Structure 1
Amino acid sequence: MTHLLREGPSSPTTLARNERVTSQAVAAHLANLEARDLVSRSRDPRDGRKVVVTISSPGRSALRAREGVVVDSLTRALQELTRSERKALSDAAPLLALLADRL
């Protein structure tokens, strides 16, 4: 859902490629998300043979709530680090960002 929030509507094929999973895995996951009203699927207006997936308003809310929990957990974990550990992590941040971009 994060991809849909950041990038906008997408095809299931694109979602599978971005997540590095099979189309079948994405289809099963989308069915679950759609049943929970977190995403919607519709026909591509430019090519009626294709499907477009869009995050719903409840999906946006659920994603923001989850991100808030993650941020709170990360904040608590960082506060438990020593000053030198936080400095080492800060120094490593550019390399970690580079690594994340390559994944």
Structure 2
Amino acid sequence: MGDVDERLEVAAQARRAATRLARRLRAERPAGALSTNKVAVLGHLYRHGKSTPGEITAAEHQQPQSLTRVFADLEADGLVTRSRGERDRRESVLDLTAVGLDALTRDMADRDGWLAAAIGGLTETETQMLRIGAALMNQLADAP
């Protein structure tokens, strides 16, 4: 039973660390940068192509009401387009525009730059541990 408790504690520590890092990224986000939810929606459309709002909320594990305003803002800013579904004309489908792709690419580069600067202040051992942790997180993301 101790092994399970230890794994649960490690999982909880990883979750807390990821949450703290996300908070710092949000707090230090430059003016005009995309919100986390906007990045999630644009990233989903980039990876999966045209999607309905329901498909996006389910895939991103969000409540529909938390993304309703995000969808409207992205459409108003010209980052996504909304059209009628081919199978069901009552259903709307969102698609990433070229402007949206540029905004997503720029925002991800800014976040990567912020992380690279933060990593630059780590010791070699800390950097190696971060690489190992990143590899493990990727394995967990790909696990069934």
Q: TM-score, normalised by structure 2?
A: 0.65
1:52-103: per-residue Cα shift (whole Å, max 9, x none)? 100111111111110110111111111111001011112222322244457x
State whether structure 2 residue 55 is matched by structure 1 residue 14.
Answer: yes
For residues 79 and 100 of structure 1, what CA distance do their matches in structure 2 show? 25
Quote how far apart the aligned CAs of 1:24 are.
2.5
Which residue in 2 is equivalent to 1:87?
A: 128
Which residue in 2 is equivalent to 1:30?
A: 71
For residues 100 and 118 of structure 2, what CA distance do their matches in structure 1 show? 27
Quote how far apart the aligned CAs of 1:20 are.
1.8
Instruction: State the one-letter code of the partner of 2:132.
Output: D
For residues 38 and 13 of structure 1, what CA distance do their matches in structure 2 show? 18
Taking only the aligned residue pairs, the percentage that are identical comes to 34
Instruction: State the one-letter code of the partner of 1:86.
Output: T
Which residue in 2 is equivalent to 1:59?
A: 100
CA RMSD of aligned residues (A): 1.6
Instruction: State the one-letter code of the partner of 1:36.
Output: D
Corresponding residue pairs, total: 102
Instruction: State the one-letter code of the partner of 2:85.
Output: D
The answer (yes or no) to whether the contact 1:15–1:26 under 8 Å persists in 2 is no
Question: Which structure ranks higher in relative contact order (CA pairs < 8 Å, sequence separation ≥ 6)?
Answer: 1
Which residue in 1 is equivalent to 2:110?
A: 69
For residues 90 and 19 of structure 1, what CA distance do their matches in structure 2 show? 25
1:22-75: per-residue Cα shift (whole Å, max 9, x none)? 222222211111111111110012221211100111111111110110111111
Instruction: State the one-letter code of the partner of 2:69.
Output: A
